[in-house]
Amino acid sequence: MALPTQLVYPGFEKIPRFWDNEQQSQVARVDPGEYYYSCQDEFIYTRLGSCVAACIWDPLMGIGGLNHFLLPEKVLHEDWHQLTSYSCRYGNWAMEQLINGILSAGGLKSRLKAKIFGGATLGRISVLNVGQSNIAFVREYLALEGIPVMSEDLGGPWPRKVLFHPQSGRVRLKRLEMTGMAQIEREEEAYLNDVAEHAKVPEPGSIELF
């Protein structure tokens, strides 16, 4: 099925898009280390293990987006809370790029709202406590920025599928079967190792309704 012609903000031309028959909507996919924002009637999709996704939107302007990040600090530093470490800069980058993008598209910071998901405890990454550190980081960041968290589904052992509608802020969340966990673990561990190795900012069951 041909996708409808829609506005794509500069920098997101390579974001994968597909038509979802169940949602009857275009869907843009965000992979680990990426973010995307839109003012279109579409969904933004990602799949999470230990990673966290922040869904942020301006309800008046109908502009919103989603990021997908994993803090690598335990691999790089013994001191998990070293504020000058690379991962703090990386986490800030993931949040700032999304928020600044929404503002540049016409959003107003005082109107922004957030929903946050992910941070599961999965396999070897759980030894590094990455999921819990991602949760702590995103909560603290949003609190410091004064962006209210309207809902969340964080922690636990479950991988998650998130579909975010940027115009309305609606989220469709599905906790995935544990049988799919191994692939997500492999993807996130490869991502974590790549970030740690290169130490640089990268380029840009039942469904519960929130």
Q: Identify the pLDDT of residue 130.
A: 78
Are 71 and 207 spatial neighbours (Cβ–Cβ below 8 Å)? Answer: no
pLDDT grade for 158, boundaries at 50, 70 and 90: confident
Question: Would the pLDDT of 79 be above 80?
Answer: no
> Of the given ranges (36-40, 61-65, 134-138, 169-173), which has the lowest mean pLDDT?
134-138
Q: What is the reported pLDDT for 143?
A: 97
Residues of the chain above pLDDT 70, percent: 70
The CA distance from 83 to 76, in Å, is: 13
- Angstrom distances, CA of residue 72 to CA of 64, 65, 129, 145, 194: 26, 23, 10, 22, 9
3-class secondary structure, 154:
strand
DSSP state of 11: T
Q: Is the pLDDT of residue 192 over 90?
A: no
Residues 6+ apart with CB under 8 A from 179: none
Range scoring the smallest mean pLDDT among 38-52, 119-133, 136-150, 166-180: 119-133
Question: What is d(CA 127, CA 158) in angstroms, rounded to the nearest whole number?
Answer: 16
pLDDT, tens digit, for every residue of 80-139? 444 334 445 577 888 999 999 999 999 999 999 999 999 988 765 454 577 888 899 999
> What does the pLDDT average to over 144-166?
95
Q: Are 149 and 114 in contact (CB under 8 A)?
A: yes
Range among 135-139, 144-148, 189-193 with highest mean pLDDT value: 144-148
Residues 43-71 have pLDDT tens digits of 999 999 888 999 999 999 999 999 998 87
What distance in Å separates the CA atoms of residue 34 and residue 150, rounded to the nearest whole number?
23
End-to-end CA distance of the chain: 29
Question: What pLDDT does 191 receive?
Answer: 66
Cα separation, 6 vs 42, in Å, equals 10
Distance CA 55, CA 52 (A): 10
What domains does the chain contain, in order, with CATH numbers?
A: 25-200 (3.30.1330.200)
CA angle (191 as vertex; 185, 195 as ends), nearest 5: 145
Look at residue 178 and tell me whether its pLDDT is greater than 90.
Answer: no
